Amino acid sequence: MEKRRVSLISVMMILVSFVVLVSLISGIMILNQNRLEEITQRVIYKFDLLWERCVDSVKYYNRYEAIGKDKDGNIMVLRKTYDYSAGYAIVFYTIEKYDPSGEELIFAKRIDYISYIDHIYFNEDGSFLVTGEYYYNPHGQVVNKYDSECKLVWTDSSWDNLFSDLESNDNMVYMDLELNNVTKNAAGNYLIAGNYYLEIEREDEYLDYCYGILVVYDENGNQIDFIKISADANASEMKFEDAISNQNGTVVIGSILNKDTYQLNGIVYSIDEGGNVKWKQVYNTNENSFKDIAIDDDGNYFIVAQTEEYPIILKYDTDGNKIGEQIIANDELLEVKKVKILNNDKIIVVGNDEESVLMSILDKELLLLNVNYYQFQENKTNISDFIINDDYTLFIIGEVENHEEDEKASKKDKKLNGMIAKISPSMDIIVTKKWEDYDNKLKTRPENIIVGLKNNDEVIVEKTISTTEDMNVKFTGLPLFDEAGNHINYTVTELEESKGDLENYSAQIDQENYTIVNQYQDEVENVPTSDMNIWLYIVISIIAIVVIIIVIVMIVRGKKNHK
């Protein structure tokens, strides 16, 4: 009988211990629930996809290669098409013109007198200049200007300046000319960056020449300048890939190949109006190449580059000093394509890896604000160009693969389609709302309050929230700029739903961390908070479990002594 009574007491003790343990765990969970999630990033920059569209035609290969705008805001797009219907590839180019929204096609016209286009520059009047190859030209490379209806205005294929190094008895063995980029200089003339390689035989000796070139044309097609920059003695190859101009002259980026180490390095030249090199920089950290360049209103240059390990962005001042460097993404498969400056305030970089498109945004100090990956049309996308619109949205173009899951599929079987998408850069802001009023034991809180964001003194957006607990309030899709193009400096504010709702509170607002703390104005003694009650409950539960364990141990020992 005694043994049965002892066993019954042990079982009861175990059950009580279990109940107390469950209560203890519940108390801890309640305590954690009452704690507000800590926010590490309160401002999140991002890109919102507004729409995307593919050009799905009977042609096997379509690719959008370049994009621009005319003075009326109409969108001009260069489309490249491979037609395999004859059993072999026939390449042709089309200019597509859309309204400013990018959704209504105004016309699509084919470009003649060009076989392959290397680069295109769109003018505000709808005309455009292209560089590329034409089969009927003896040197291959041509420069053509077309009017807004895609009719040829003028063409130039005379490259006598390339052969100024030749002597009368020289024999030209090999010549390779590339025209890689077109822009306009401060005087409004066309500036073409390129390079050429020349190999000659002179008295049983073979000589080679490697140059970066800048060719300048006026609007009428007159070649008014031809600048040759000789490669360094240790370079077997030099390429000028892109150029940009302002009142200080022209800055050119490209790459050189070291003939001894076979290492490819990015180069940047500053060239004055007379064709003289003001300064030159070589980025010789590992193997790399410069891809694109942008300039801000202060004359600083931002260059995106590709290295063996990851893509980077570099910042140079007007004197050629490197004053910043940032890794864009720690992804060796990511290829950066373009960089542009949004309203002289934010830097936008676009590229893609094997599966998706990258769009990242940085400030002018190269602080990486956000990196976004997209997969358009749920297929592999290759980006070629983008522009920034007057409303600070972006049109981004390229190609989308649309084929069966066959990595060995040929180009004509992959059915590549041109893609155009409209994207809006925006930001999310997370505001934290806290109460310091004895957990509302005095019932002084209103049912709801209004949290808002202001630009200057104007409330732009607001949300009505419950006051039952501390909370984080997220505002999404906020524009970066107002209609006048000014950067919006969001500040947080608090409003009453009804007059007098917060008369018992003083507000402490931290604008830097977007935090509002409402403090009860009067001091009250002996008002326990919920957290204090929970902690008291946890301590009592722990003491109860310890006592029960001691009692069980004593009972077990008593049973052993009884035996």
pLDDT digits (tens, 9 = 90+) for 344-386: 889 999 998 877 888 899 999 999 988 888 777 667 788 899 9
Three-class SS of residue 30? helix
| Beta bridge partners of residue 442, listed in sequence order | none
pLDDT for the residue 37: 61
Residues of the chain with pLDDT under 70: 1-40, 56-60, 137-139, 165, 168, 377-378, 402-415, 524-541, 544-545, 547-548, 551-563
pLDDT for the residue 78: 96
Helix (H) or strand (E) holding 548: helix 530-562
Q: Is the pTM of this model over 0.75?
A: yes
Residue 102: what are its φ and ψ, rounded to 5°? 80, 5
| Beta bridge partners of residue 105, listed in sequence order | 98
CA distance 399 to 385: 11
Residue 560: what are its φ and ψ, rounded to 5°? -65, -40
CA distance 334 to 546: 59
Nearest in space to 98 (alpha carbons), one of 520, 389, 485, 357? 389
pLDDT for the residue 344: 87
For residue 543, with 0-12 CB atoms within 10 Å meaning exposed, 13-18 middle and 19 or more buried, which class applies?
A: exposed
Dihedral (CA of 108, 113, 117, 118) sign: negative
Q: How do strand 515-520 and strand 416-436 relate by DSSP bridges? A: parallel
DSSP state of 208: E
CA distance 128 to 234: 38
